[in-house]
Amino acid sequence: MDDPQLVAAVLRRDRKATADFVSQHADGIYTFLCNRLIPRTDLVEDIVHEVFLAALESLSKFQGISSLRSWLLGIARHKVEDYYRVRLWEPLSIDGNDAEPLPVEPAFDEFIDREQVAHKVRQVLKSLPEVYCLALLWRYWENRSACEMAAQTVRTEKAVERLLARARKQFKRRWNEVER
């Protein structure tokens, strides 16, 4: 069954098609959310739930311009950004010795094994204060500029840039520590 057929069957309230809809897309949404909510993986299951319910609500608007998978990931991305927005809206209570210079710059020549690097990235992100982790994910994994992030929170662009600078520094420090 292709995407438009599957959508039409779900809209006809065919229970079997609804099961196919979940079977085919739950893993993709789950993977995406696990990677974007690294510090709060406890939220992943609830958000997967919300994504599917939101998708069902607006399934009649699915036009098939993109694949159903991309469309669902778009909904998941909105949910993730809602979470980032709320967390970055809250006042920061970050301690840290950001004034310390970074001892060694992270090296690029270690980008040999993709899986190994991805594992290390997750390990380092998990070890960061939540707000730093979310700021980095929003900026680099979701490709949002500091200006866009500022527009969606009560922060100024300068404040977001300062937050990102601290987050990058902490990330790189931990990256080097994991290496050692």
Partner 1 sequence: MSKPNADEEFFSRLAANDEAAEATPIKAPSRLKAKVYSALVRRQTAYGSLLSVSASKANGQSLCIFEKAVEILPVGDGIKSLNFCRVCHARVAAEKIENAPIYWPHCPYAEFQNR
The residue among 100, 168, 91 whose CA lies nearest residue 128 is: 168
**Minimum CB–partner distance for residue 88 and partner 1 (Å):** 17
Nearer CB in complex with partner 1: 89/140: 140
Nearer CB in complex with partner 1: 29/150: 29
**Minimum CB–partner distance for residue 66 and partner 1 (Å):** 17
CB of 23 closer than 8 Å to CB of 66: no
Kind plus residue range of the DSSP H or E element containing 179: helix 157-179
* 107 Rama class: left (phi>0) / alpha (psi -120 to 50) / beta: beta
Nearer CB in complex with partner 1: 60/154: 60
**Minimum CB–partner distance for residue 87 and partner 1 (Å):** 19
Nearer CB in complex with partner 1: 56/86: 56
**How far is it, in rounded angstroms, from Cα 32 to Cα 71?**
13
Nearer CB in complex with partner 1: 93/99: 99
CB of 48 closer than 8 Å to CB of 33: yes
**Minimum CB–partner distance for residue 79 and partner 1 (Å):** 14
Residue 125: count other Cβ atoms within 10 Å of its Cβ: 21
Chain contacts with partner 1 (rule: CB under 8 A): 9, 12-19, 21-23, 26-32, 34-35, 45, 48-49, 52-53, 56, 101-102, 105-106, 108, 111, 114-115, 117-118, 121, 136, 139-141, 143, 168-169, 171-172
**Minimum CB–partner distance for residue 118 and partner 1 (Å):** 4
End-to-end CA distance of the chain: 51
Task: Please enumerate in sequence order all residues whose Cβ is within 8 A of that of 179, keeping only pairs 6 or more positions apart, or say none.
Answer: 106, 110
